[in-house]
Amino acid sequence: MEIQTEWTPIKDYSEILFERTGKIAKITMNRPQKHNAFTPVTVSEMIDAFSLARDDESIGVIILTGAGDKAFSSGGDQSVRGNGGYVGPDEIARLNVLDLQRLIRVIPKPVIAMVKGWSVGGGNVLQLVCDLTVAADNAQFGQTGPKVGSFDAGYGSAYLARVIGHKRAKEVWFLDHFYSADEALAMGWINRVVPLAEVETATLEWAYELLEKSPTALRFIKAAMNADTDGVAGLQQLAGDATMLFYTTDEGKEGRDAFLEKRKPDFNQFPKFP
Ligand code: S0N
């Protein structure tokens, strides 16, 4: 398989890059001078790009990464951390990365984290909530919350415990150590480790493989796993996908058409599968 690695810009932003190659979109946190630490602007730009990639029917897979070889992301930019959240040009303190985490979870397309270098703090939570993670052999993973007076007790902790187990998740958060890519792989924290020079090709290989699979099957598998971990919000996603499919059936359309035609619906014509 020939892997195409030429990227075409989709939209210009100030703190991220948003590009595509064929049916694959790539969102890159672009603040390498700070190891791709994110501000409220970086996050709102990522939310916009993810939303566009979600709505674009020609996009099948989304890659999230960081600019340069030194970092995926070092988390929230501590220099704009104010009282109650991170402060952007509008002077409002917010934790909009939580909205981004949920968006990555509910986007009904596979999201792959491509990690080079540091994956730390809220940045590491972003790789965690991606569906798959391909890491370079120079990647290092860790949480710093208790060291810098912060914590993510949502996906960052509770979901991490589901992924790597409670003992390991407590070790990660309580001690704030950093773990190599091989250690993270052994914990089931990430999916694959490759040499740094091959990380984009390896990520694209998986993206191309995913593009050959049934998008509806992938969508339901993602939603089902979220339903198991995300309570009613996860169930809502799975149920919404079922409704979407039902709307495409003649049985679903009969209900709508009968209402619009002011007649009684004839649901008897449809099979009652065992
Ligand atoms: C990643 C580390 C270990 C790399 O060390 P190294 O290689 O020695 O590089 P440095 O010299 O330290 O860094 C290079 C330059 O980049 C700046 N920089 C790095 N990270 C940040 C950052 N997060 N914010 C601002 N600047 C950063 C350095 O200052 C340096 O700049 P110069 O060259 O000018 O000195 C190391 O860099 C490190 O430990 N970084 C900090 C990691 C960290 O603590 N991140 C924040 C953790 N918290 C979050 O991510 C918040 C998550 C969040 O938003 C949230 C979500 C849910 C609920 C709550 C929260 C919340 O916490 O509020």
Residue nearest to atom 22 of ligand 1 (CA): 77
Q: Is the CB of 95 under 6 A from ligand 1?
A: yes
Quick check: 104 and 27 in contact, CB under 8 A?
no
Atom number in ligand 1 closest to CA 144: 44
Burial of 84 (0-12, 13-18, 19+ CB in 10 A): exposed
Is 8-212 in CATH node 3.40.50.1370?
A: no
Is the pLDDT at 265 greater than 80? The verdict is yes
Is the pLDDT at 5 greater than 90? The verdict is no
Q: Which residues partner with 211 through β-bridges?
A: none
pLDDT tens digits along 154-211: 999 999 999 999 999 999 999 999 999 999 999 999 999 999 999 999 999 999 999 9
Cα of 148 from ligand 1 centre, angstroms = 9
Burial of 217 (0-12, 13-18, 19+ CB in 10 A): exposed
State the number of CA atoms in the 13 A half-sphere of 193 facing the CB.
Answer: 17
Q: How far apart are CA 146 and CA 24, in angstroms?
A: 37
Least confident span in 81-85, 111-115, 217-221, 257-261: 81-85
pLDDT tens digits along 214-250: 999 999 999 999 999 999 999 999 999 999 999 999 9
**Superfamily designation of domain 215-261:** Lyase 2-enoyl-coa Hydratase, Chain  A, domain 2 (1.10.12.10)
User: What is the complex's ipTM, to 2 decimals?
Assistant: 0.95
Q: Is the CB of 138 under 6 A from ligand 1?
A: no
Query: Which of the 8 DSSP states describes residue 213?
Result: S
Pocket test for ligand 1, best of 35, 104, 116 (most atoms within 8 A of CB): 35
Domains 8-212 and 215-261 share a fold: no
User: How do the domains of the chain map onto residue ranges?
Assistant: 8-212, 215-261
pLDDT tens digits along 28-82: 999 999 999 999 999 999 999 999 999 999 999 999 999 999 999 999 999 999 9
Please tell me the predicted confidence (pLDDT) of residue 151: 95
Confidence of residue 129 (pLDDT cuts 50, 70, 90): very high
Q: Is the CB of 191 under 6 A from ligand 1?
A: no
Quick check: 195 and 136 in contact, CB under 8 A?
yes
- DSSP, residue by residue, 110-143: -EEEEE-SEEETHHHHHHHHSSEEEEETT-EEE-
